[in-house]
């Protein structure tokens, strides 16, 4: 009888642990929808703030590029004395010099600044895409982890019920002691799995708080369900759409155009750069006015280094554009394949695999109660159902993750996207 009391005590402790976990989950937590979460990210994300400031810097650089060079003023005065006759007095000199930009220099500089604005705008959009879709992925990751925790709780409750039935059978001698030991062990493993799933929920929740700069409370839940995903166009249609729309490629193309404009500017600066000068000299006996032109002479510095650097930058950016294009196509192919695989898996589960696994467990439990099957068959059926449910849950959110990756590559605004 001592072993029976000990088994009863251990079973009671396991049940109390399960009740504690359920009561903790039952506590009311604030909930956050996807729309509310994205609004917090858009308002509080430091990365988005930094990218917007970089765009403002590019706009300011355009103002600098459009400015004309300032004139230079010269003023001088001092005594003078003639070498003949010894006469003298005070003289003064006034002059103003206005650099004159060649149209080719000014046009190239303004073009480079305009390309810089386009590059900064595309880079800002790229950051917006990255942060927005990272936020959406994190939201559905937490939703998935909450679902995993719910399944783990159901599994723990089921094993607690199985343990209770085995205990009753063992008390009347209808089940051997090793079955009770096995049932207690499985129930304990389920409790540990439930605790581990709770930790994963906490980790996913922390990711959402980081994306909002800790604007969310420490404890909250996300509300929502797996979205109804629209169908995807053929891969051959998506590829050119992505190449034409993705901001990473547009940013690199704008940077290449910027480098091309700088090359034109450096070549134009090889020519002599003119300046107009108007001056006046006064003394007690004479007053003279002079108008002249000054020219820089590209004798020692013909800007070979600057021209070579700009040309090399263009070649580098062209290579980077091709590299980025290949990488994006590879990512699109991978996401499209992952979506198709997850879609097929979901179809298999929903076609009958889920129902078959649940029916197998019910049949095994009923047969065990009537002594027609052993306890190990019940455990096998329970493990099968748990694995099928877990794989089904994984496939559902794998499909959402792949769909979000495809929409990110299509450069769809994540903060205005209607579906997930």
Q: What is the mean pLDDT of each run of 10 residues along the chain (420 residues)?
A: 48 48 58 92 91 89 89 83 65 89 90 92 94 95 93 90 84 79 88 94 95 92 83 92 94 95 90 89 80 85 88 95 96 96 93 90 84 80 90 93 94 80
> Rounded CA gap, 134 and 162, in Å?
41
pLDDT in tens, 38-67: 999 999 999 998 888 988 898 898 888 898
The pTM of the full predicted model, rounded to 2 decimals, is: 0.81
Alpha helices (H) in 212-246, listed in sequence order: 235-245
Distance CA 176, CA 376 (A): 12
CA distance 283 to 89: 7
Considering only CA atoms, which of 278, 185, 216 is closest in space to residue 38? Answer: 216
Range 48-409 has CATH code 1.20.1600.10? yes
Give residue for tokens 């005065």: 77
Quote the pLDDT of residue 80. Answer: 67
Helix (H, G, I), strand (E, B) or coil at 414: coil
Output the CA–CA distances (angstroms, integers) from residue 23 to 147, 184, 218, in the order listed: 17, 22, 19
Q: CB neighbours (10 Å) of residue 368? A: 23
DSSP string, 81-123: E-SSTT-EEEEEEEEEEEE---HHHHHHHHHHHHHHHHHHHHH
> Residue ranges of the alpha helices (H) in 27-90?
34-44, 46-66
Q: What is the per-residue pLDDT across 339-389, written as a single tens digit (0 to 9) for each?
A: 999 999 999 999 989 999 999 988 988 887 777 777 788 888 888 988 999
- What's the confidence (pLDDT) of residue 402? 95
Compute the distance between CA of residue 256 and CA of residue 56 in angstroms, rounded to an integer: 20
């Amino acid at each position: 009888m001592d072993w029976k009391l000990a088994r009863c005590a251990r079973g009671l402790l396991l049940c109390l642990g399960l009740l504690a976990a359920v009561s903790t989950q039952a506590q009311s937590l604030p909930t956050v929808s996807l729309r509310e979460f994205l609004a917090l990210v858009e308002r509080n994300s430091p990365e988005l703030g930094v990218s917007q400031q970089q765009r403002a810097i590019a706009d300011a650089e355009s103002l600098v590029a459009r400015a004309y060079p300032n004139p230079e003023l010269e003023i001088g005065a001092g005594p003078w004395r003639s070498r003949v006759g010894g006469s003298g007095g005070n003289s003064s000199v006034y002059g103003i010099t206005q650099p004159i930009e060649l149209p080719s220099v000014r046009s190239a500089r303004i073009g480079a600044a305009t390309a810089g604005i386009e590059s900064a705008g595309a880079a800002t959009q790229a950051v917006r895409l990255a942060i927005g879709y990272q936020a959406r992925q994190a939201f559905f990751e937490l939703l998935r982890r909450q679902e995993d925790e719910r399944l783990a709780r159901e599994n723990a409750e089921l094993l607690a019920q199985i343990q209770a039935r085995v205990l009753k059978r063992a008390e009347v001698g209808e089940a051997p002691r090793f079955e009770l030991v096995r049932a207690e062990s499985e129930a304990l493993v389920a409790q540990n799995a439930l605790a581990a799933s709770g930790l994963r929920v906490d980790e996913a929740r922390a990711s959402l708080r980081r994306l909002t700069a800790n604007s969310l409370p420490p404890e909250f839940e996300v509300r929502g369900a797996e979205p109804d995903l629209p169908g995807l166009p053929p891969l051959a249609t998506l590829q050119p759409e992505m190449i034409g729309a993705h901001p990473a490629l547009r940013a690199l193309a704008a940077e290449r155009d910027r480098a091309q404009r700088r090359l034109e500017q450096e070549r134009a600066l090889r020519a002599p750069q003119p300046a107009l000068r108007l001056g006046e000299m006064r003394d007690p006996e004479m007053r003279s006015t002079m108008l002249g032109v000054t020219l820089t002479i590209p004798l020692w510095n013909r800007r070979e280094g600057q021209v070579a650097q700009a040309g090399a930058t263009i070649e580098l950016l062209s290579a980077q554009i091709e590299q980025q294009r290949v990488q994006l196509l590879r990512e699109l192919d991978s996401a499209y394949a992952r979506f198709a695989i997850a879609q097929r898996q979901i179809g298999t589960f929903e076609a009958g695999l889920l129902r078959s696994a649940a029916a197998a467990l019910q049949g095994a439990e009923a047969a065990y109660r009537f002594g027609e099957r052993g306890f190990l068959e019940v455990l096998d059926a329970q493990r099968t159902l748990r694995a099928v449910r877990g794989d089904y849950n994984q496939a559902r959110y794998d499909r959402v993750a792949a769909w979000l990756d495809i929409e990110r590559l299509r450069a769809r605004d994540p903060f205005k996207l209607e579906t997930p």
